[in-house]
């Protein structure tokens, strides 16, 4: 089935977030090491970026490295950092040529200095771009982000900059790392795992969830288009009834 041609241009999600999972299992199935799986995962990142660009989706958030991933064996963490650095280096030109903006969310202070500097430079150089925005979640966890927001809001309450009566969900959203980004309408997770793993817990309150058994290195353009097609046939009610939605 060709999903791309079936996609309704007027019903596209503005923001798609992806939990890219299954690189390790994909490599193991081939008798290779986990790093081989991550390297193959980079190809899927490229495919999905191209597909999102083709559809003119505005935001694509990729969970590349969680706070918990720091606990993996050092050799794997180092390899993932090198892979990220190499990918940013090799893709920088393409990002600029294709009007793509790069953003990063997460505790970037925990990243090696070299990577932090490189990322800041590319963020700066792509900030005027108006096409797709790729948001890479790096050393990110949702609980870390929410705790940070609570700390910052509390500080401002203490300094009389915020009145407690003015704390509402819009204000909380402004204190998250995603303050400038709309909430994702669609969250995809690959590899047949049915969990959220500390990713965008606040932001996915009303997101449609799409789970596929495909391992991340096997997830390409066609699989991305299929997820968008599936999303377009969901009924998003936001707590209302079907009748209320259809009447609109």
Residues with a catalytic annotation lie at 21, 69
Q: Whose Cβ is closer to ligand FPP: residue 41's or residue 106's?
A: 41
Say how many C-beta atoms besides its own lie within 10 A of residue 167's C-beta: 14
Q: Write the burial class of residue 54 (CB in 10 Å: 0-12 exposed, 13-18 middle, 19+ buried).
A: middle
| Pair 232, 11: CB distance under 8 Å | yes
Minimal distance in Å, beta carbon 17 to ligand FPP?
Answer: 13
Minimal distance in Å, beta carbon 99 to ligand FPP?
Answer: 19
Q: CA-CA distance, 242 to 245, in Å (whole number)?
A: 5
With CB under 6 A as the contact rule, the residue among 16, 135, 136, 176 that binds ligand FPP is 136
| Pair 136, 102: CB distance under 8 Å | yes
Position with the least CB separation from ligand FPP: 24
Note whether 132 binds ligand FPP by CB under 6 A. Answer: no
Note whether 20 binds ligand FPP by CB under 6 A. Answer: yes
Note whether 84 binds ligand FPP by CB under 6 A. Answer: yes
| Pair 111, 81: CB distance under 8 Å | yes
Number of residues in the chain: 248
Contact residues for ligand FPP (CB under 6 A)? Answer: 20-25, 34, 38, 41-42, 45, 62, 64, 69, 80, 83-84, 87, 136, 191, 216
């Amino acid at each position: 089935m060709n999903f791309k041609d079936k996609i309704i241009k007027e019903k596209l999600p503005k923001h798609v977030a992806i939990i890219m999972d299954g690189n390790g299992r994909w490599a193991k199935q081939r008798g290779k090491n986990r790093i081989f799986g991550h390297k193959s995962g980079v190809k899927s990142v490229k495919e999905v970026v191209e597909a999102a660009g083709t559809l003119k989706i505005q935001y694509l958030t990729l969970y590349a490295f969680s706070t918990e991933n720091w606990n993996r064996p050092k050799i794997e963490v180092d390899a993932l950092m090198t892979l990220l650095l190499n990918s940013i280096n090799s893709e920088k030109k393409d990002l600029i040529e294709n009007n793509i903006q790069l953003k990063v969310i997460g505790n970037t202070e925990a990243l090696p200095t070299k990577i932090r500097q490189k990322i800041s430079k590319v963020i700066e150089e792509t900030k005027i771009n108006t096409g797709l925005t790729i948001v890479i979640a790096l050393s990110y966890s949702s609980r870390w982000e929410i705790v940070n927001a609570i700390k910052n809001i509390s500080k401002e309450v203490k300094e009389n900059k915020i009145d407690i009566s003015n704390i509402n969900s819009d204000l909380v959203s402004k204190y998250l790392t995603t303050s400038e980004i709309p909430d994702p309408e669609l969250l995809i997770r690959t590899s047949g795992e049915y969990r959220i793993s500390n990713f965008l817990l606040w932001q996915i309150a009303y997101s449609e969830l799409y789970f596929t058994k495909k391992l991340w290195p096997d997830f390409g353009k066609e699989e991305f288009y299929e997820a968008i097609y599936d999303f377009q046939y969901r009924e998003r009610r936001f707590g209302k009834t079907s009748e209320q939605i259809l009447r609109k």
